[in-house]
Every structure is written in structure tokens, then in C-alpha cells.
Amino acid sequence: MLTQIGAELMDALSIKNPYAFDILTGAKPIEYRTWQPGNTTQFLLVSSQTPSTTDFGLGMANGYALAIVQITAVSPHPDQAGNYSWHVRPMMPITPFPVKGRLHFYEVNETQIQRRPDLIPAMRAFLNNHTDPAGAAFKQQIIDPLTQIGITQMPQKYQRLFKATGSWRSVIQAWHQR
């Protein structure tokens, strides 16, 4: 990969939705992988361009950098989908931006990453309780815009259904009936 001389790079990892979004919102504290992260202790969480085909991932922005995530521990876990359990947690909100993902870790230029330290308290409040008013800024400035992007990325039939019903339940039911 060609990079600018002197450019700072951050490791990034693409994960399919809904799993990437679940990590962002604190609903998925463990990421299963068949490999260890080596010396990487934090990475740019990127949602893959296409969502999971087995779990509902519609309405979540695909192909976007979501947050900087910390790997707090790695443990062997041979009886799960991967051989290692990466214990992860969002540590730094960022302004989401499009990223073309790759397999394994890859590098993203730091100049593309706009950190949002002003939202750390709101992110922590949101991660502890999604209805906590102290988390409203994180929800309004990060989660809601990502959801709007995700809605525009859904196939037209699901967009129409969501617009007509305003109900994610209807969209999920239709998705399961496909």
C-alpha cells in the first residue's frame, strides 16, 4: 500500500452489520476471530459494505467508519465461531465517513479520522443505558445520522415499507420472509 511519507496510519477492521453496529452501541462486547490481533490494541471500527445475510443488518450504515474501538483482552475460545474472543469497547467517537473495507486489519490515514472527544461522556452514558438523557448527544450526532444513511442503503422495497409503517418490526418481518 502506498502511503504519504510521514503519514500516521491507524489499523482498521471491517465487520458486517449488525455486528459492527452492535459493537458501536455496546451490545456486542466480544468479537470472535480466528486470529489474534497481534500488537494492535485499538482499531478503527468499519462496517462492511454488505450486511450479514443471516442476521438482520438493514437500516445500519454500511461501508462507514464508526468509532475507535479498544481491545481490552483476548482469550482463546475454541468452541465459538472463532478461535479467539476479542473483548472490545468503543473508546472514541468519530465523525463517520465512508471507507472501502478489506479483509483482516488494514490501514486508514489518520487525517481522515475526525475524533469527537467532546462526545465521550455522552457515548459512555449511552453505552450504559440507551435511554439515559446524558447519552442524547451521542445518539443525535452519531447513531441517528448513521441510521438515516442505513435507511437510504436498504433495498427500495424495505425503504417503502419503513416509510409506510414507520416500523422496524414490519421491515424485520418482511426481511425474514424473503
Mean predicted lDDT score pLDDT of the chain: 90
Parallel, antiparallel or unpaired: strands 106-109 and 30-33: unpaired
pLDDT beyond 80 at 53 = no
Average pLDDT over residues 7-35: 93
Please give the pLDDT value at position 66.
Answer: 97
Least confident among 67-71, 101-105, 135-139:
101-105
Average pLDDT over residues 149-175: 90
> 150: which residues sit within 8 A by CB, 6+ positions away?
17, 58, 59, 60, 61, 62
Please give the pLDDT value at position 108.
Answer: 95
| Rounded Cα gap, residues 148 and 66, in angstroms | 14
Please give the pLDDT value at position 7.
Answer: 62
Parallel, antiparallel or unpaired: strands 42-47 and 9-15: parallel
Average pLDDT over residues 125-146: 95
The residue ranges of every structural domain in the chain are: 9-176
Please give the pLDDT value at position 2.
Answer: 42
Please give the pLDDT value at position 79.
Answer: 66
